[in-house]
Chains A and B, each alone.
Chain A
Amino acid sequence: MIETPKLDWLALAPTLALLGASGVALLASVLVPAGLRRAAAALVAFGGFVGAGVLAAILFEESGEARAVLAESMTRDRFGALAAMIVAGAGALSVLVSWGERRRDHAGEYYALLAAAGAGMVFFVTASNLMTLFLGLEWFSIALYILCALDTHRTTSLEAGLKYLVVGSFGSAILLFGCGLVYGATGEISFGAIATGADGDDLLLLAGLAMLLAGLAFKISAAPFHMWTPDVYQGAPTSVTAFMSAATKVAAFALTLRVLTVAFPEQEHLWTVAVAALAVASLAIGNLAALVQRDLKRLLAYSSVSHAGFMLIAVAANSELGGRALLYYLIPYSAMSIGSFAVVAARERQLGVPATLDNIGGFLWERPFLGASMWVFLLGFMGMPLTGGLLGKFYVFAAAYEAGWTWLVIVGVVATAVSLYYYLRVALAMWTRDEPEASSLRPVVAGGAIPRDPLLVTAVAASLAVTVGSFVLVQPLIDLARDAAAALPF
């Protein structure tokens, strides 16, 4: 008789809710009459994300003290719960953005995969040993590979899926190799045991740590492991891009911080420097490459690389303030990211071609709410007032300074200055009217009317509310982030 570990259902509940939603949506795509499939699947997926969010909130409330569950393969703590809440929120918004995409085939599967990816992420952020880490990573990655390639009639989508698959698998392989080396060096797979069993200067362990970090850097799209990001973000269906840009980042960052602080406190002097180097590379490459982009999704992809750089600064700080800064940053960042991709999606659906700087002219006047919201998101990315983006940067810089990384603050400041150029270019392009190229594209898909998409507008409004709300109501969010970050051993 094999002794089974005691199950902590509440710790698993957010994951199970999403997994269940995924299963039901998948069933719905077979059993429900064809006309209702899309609606049923979307509703189930939305319910799954909302349910997971609520359960994660309960979990947050109930997990004042961190503890290992499920034979120490998972940690039940507020850190994971908060990350799960953000992922769930991002997922729910993505469902709303997806609704208007009017896909004829694979509608049910789309939502099922979205929920499955969410489940994987929610599981991933609680991982506390190398096995569950890898399992969670592959779980949501495979779902995302398929989602990226789901628009089978578009070559760019297929290309994106294939690229993500190849490069992502490469990243996963490196990560797995790293896990293997760490296990080889310590004989342990649990994060906590690795920390105690580690011999500080073991080269095998250090090589493992480096590869682990590289593998995670693929997922957070930190330079120089960002190569897939622009292509995949550009090619994938825009609603998938929105989900990936927010949720994947949240999950990957949360776990990166967890694994580094829990498993490798002894090697702190090494990995903080490595993370700082990644941050500088991301800030430099992301911002410089974004300067020359004309395709909006590509531009936002490079912008997400640069924001990964900012968040890495918070990781490099390796302090409770840094943890708080990272968690706080992720909230407005996710909202701005989903919101801006949603606006891009709206423009694409209106024109039927990818949105570029050349064909968003006059968007602000055609659809004032979406245009103005896009403005706010761009201001947030820049770190301007009235958005949480400013306070996120402020917190990150504060954490970096407190940890003695003053030069990282300077790099961050310079990077922000560079980023203004391309964000403002987008912002200004939306004002200009009657560009010849834009007017040739004016004929809108169905008979000239702008497609109505109330759910997408709702998602944008919610993102807007979070972006601005996180500026005004900082204290509650910081309290959440503080409780969450307190679960990690800094």
Chain B
Amino acid sequence: MTTALIVLPLTAALVVWLLPLPARVAGGLALAAMLAETALWGVAVARFDFGESLQLVDRQTWFSDLGVSYHVGFFGFSLWLAGVSIVVCTAAIAYAWWARRERARAYHGLLLFLTGAIVGVFAAQDLLVFYVFFEAMLIPLYVLIGVWGGVRRVQATVKFVIYTMAGSLLMLASIVVLGLSQGTFDLVESGRSDSVWIFLGFLVAFAVKAPLFPFHGWLVDAYRESPPELSAILSGVVSKAAVYGLLRIGIAKFGEPVQDLQLAILVLAAVGLVYASLLAFRARDVRTVVAYSSMGQMSLIVMGLFSLNEIGVTGSIVHSVAHGLVSAALFLLAGMVEARTGGTSDFARIGGLAKGRPAFATLVLIVGVIALAVPGSAIFAGEFLILTGIYDQGWWWSAIGAGAIVLAAMYMLRAISGILHRSRELQPPAGTRDLRPAELGVLVPLVAALLFLSAWPASISERSFPPAPEEAAEVTP
């Protein structure tokens, strides 16, 4: 089951690459594969018993002398993370199909490959398997930004690759050391380590991926220069690989080092949260707002994780899922803005897009309002849990988090009014119409999922970790 979820997109990628199909057909095929993948994930959820721990396990010895095996499976929380990835990637592929990307076969194949790798990361139960999928994500991302990106794509790619690879290679060293010292690379079998150095190796990799202050140097360029659907995947989904890594490897495998570094990580996360929120407020274009808002939300998620109690961690998962959807929807909306203004989302040049575009305006408003954590929204549910959880560590952390919600409201409202209302001298070209049916088809499912989560956040919060405390202890200390 789990293997099928990983292999289906990878196989589809091979098919799309190898068969000499016309561009439209290749894109359609990719979308069909992703819809099948979504359905398969639905089946997995139906079969999943949320009262239990690790399930849907596939295990096969890979090479025995170092104790490495192909071991995949899902926990409740990782199944949700995988689900949001699949949904967002499906939306992204649908959008790419609609946007008629050049060299469609290569493009869609890479997106499918990326999807398979992301699902693999969330399913990995072996250190080396985790590394393999973690790195495998990087290959398509590198090509997609470097070839299909905007004007400054090469710079963005180089920054992105150097940051992420520096992090991952430190992680490889940590994996080697941790695995050998434990005698196995299996995450289920291996015990805990007390080495701060090994933990730091992992931490840097995840801090880059999230990104956490001060490892965010690659963020803006990558999010701004990528095609919008790729930014959606990057911010919505790829960043969640860090969440999974921090939880499954960081917190689960390092007891003492996590305690020792908790304060430092919380400080970094808090600084990142406030800093990113302020930068988002000062940003000049829509994409940068969403990019920094994404960084801020990821910092908040990390705060929740390192509250090291069940409420905070659960909140982080809820927030991860909700933020994945919100962030993806926002980047796709930014792409739709750019498609209507000749490729720019600069606040100085756009505005007044609400007039005569009711569907567009409605969706921007819904997603924007959810993003600023209005009470009752899915994002609010996650933030509330995180702030409750972090309160244990001191009231001031919650205060900082709550302050950041105010900042989020400021930058989100500024962005919404910048897109929809304020009219500039440079009016959008007369021909730019409201959302096309295809665009609605991409966005509406994402927004529907968000509204569903807003109405019933317990669907995730009560189904992430098994209720029995001794089993939950396997993941949360």
Q: Which residues of A contact B (CB under 8 A)?
A: 321, 324, 365, 372, 379, 384-386, 390-391, 393-395, 397-398, 401-402, 406, 409-410, 413-414, 416-417, 420-421, 424, 428, 431, 474-475, 478, 482
Q: Which of B61, B65, B136, B154 has a CB less than 8 Å from the CB of A386?
A: B136
Q: Which residues of B contact A401 (CB under 8 A)?
A: 176-177, 180
Given contacts A390-B132, A398-B176, A402-B180, contact A417 B65 (CB under 8 A): no
A398 to B157, CA, bound (A): 30
| B137 to chain A: closest residue by CB | A385
The contact string, 1 if C-beta is below 8 Å from chain A, for chain B 100-133, is 0001000000000000000000000000100111
- Interface contact A478-B132, CB-CB below 8 Å: no
Nearest chain A CB to B183's CB is how many angstroms away? 11
Chain A: interface secondary structure?
Answer: helix
Given A417-B165, A424-B161, A324–B143 Cβ distance below 8 Å? no
Query: What's the least CB distance linking B393 to chain A, in Å?
Result: 33
Q: How far is the CB of B340 from chain A (nearest CB, A)?
A: 28
Given A379-B139, A424-B142, verify A394-B166 contact (CB < 8 Å).
no
Contacts A385-B132, A428-B154 known; A398 to B169 CB distance under 8 Å?
no
Given A385-B133, A385-B136, also A410-B63 (CB < 8 A) = no
- Chain A min CB distance to B155 (Å): 12
Asked if B180 and A398 sit within 8 Å, CB to CB, the answer is yes
B63 touches A478 (CB 8 A): yes
The distance from the CB of B154 to the nearest CB of chain A, in whole angstroms, is: 7
**A417: contacting residue among B133, B158, B162, CB under 8 A:** B162
Residue from A324, A413, A424 in contact with B173 in the complex, judged by beta carbons closer than 8 Å: A413
Interfacial chain B residues near A397, Cβ < 8 Å: 172-173, 176
Is residue B170 contacting chain A, with contact meaning CB distance below 8 A? yes
Q: Say whether B180 contacts A431, CB under 8 Å.
A: no
B165 touches A420 (CB 8 A): yes
B43 within 8 A of A: no
Nearest B-chain residue to A398, judged by Cβ: B176
7 smallest beta-carbon distances between A and B, as pairs: A385-B132, A474-B63, A413-B169, A385-B136, A397-B176, A385-B135, A413-B173
Distance from B41 Cβ to chain A, minimum over Cβ atoms (Å):
23
What CA separation (Å) do A465 and B147 show in the bound complex?
A: 27
Contact pick for B63, options A372, A385, A475, CB 8 Å: A475
**Contact (Cβ within 8 A) A420 B180:** no
Chain B residue nearest in CB terms to A324: B65
The answer to whether A398 touches B172, judged by C-beta atoms less than 8 angstroms apart, is: no
Nearest CB of chain A from residue B121's CB, rounded to whole Å: 11
With contacts A384-B135, A390-B135, A420-B165 taken as known, whether A409 is within 8 angstroms of B65 at the C-beta atoms is no
Measured between beta carbons, the chain A residues less than 8 angstroms from B169 are 413-414, 416-417
* CB < 8 Å neighbour of A406 from B65, B128, B172, B177: B177
Known: A391-B63, A397-B173, A428-B157. 14 other contacts (CB 8 A): A324-B65, A384-B139, A390-B135, A398-B180, A401-B180, A413-B169, A413-B173, A420-B162, A420-B165, A421-B158, A424-B142, A428-B147, A428-B154, A475-B62
Residues of A within 8 A of B173 (CB): 397, 409-410, 413
| In-complex Cβ contact of A413 among B131, B135, B170 (8 A) | B170
Query: Chain B residues with Cβ under 8 A from A385's Cβ?
Result: 131-133, 135-136, 139
Residues of B within 8 A of A390 (CB): 132, 135
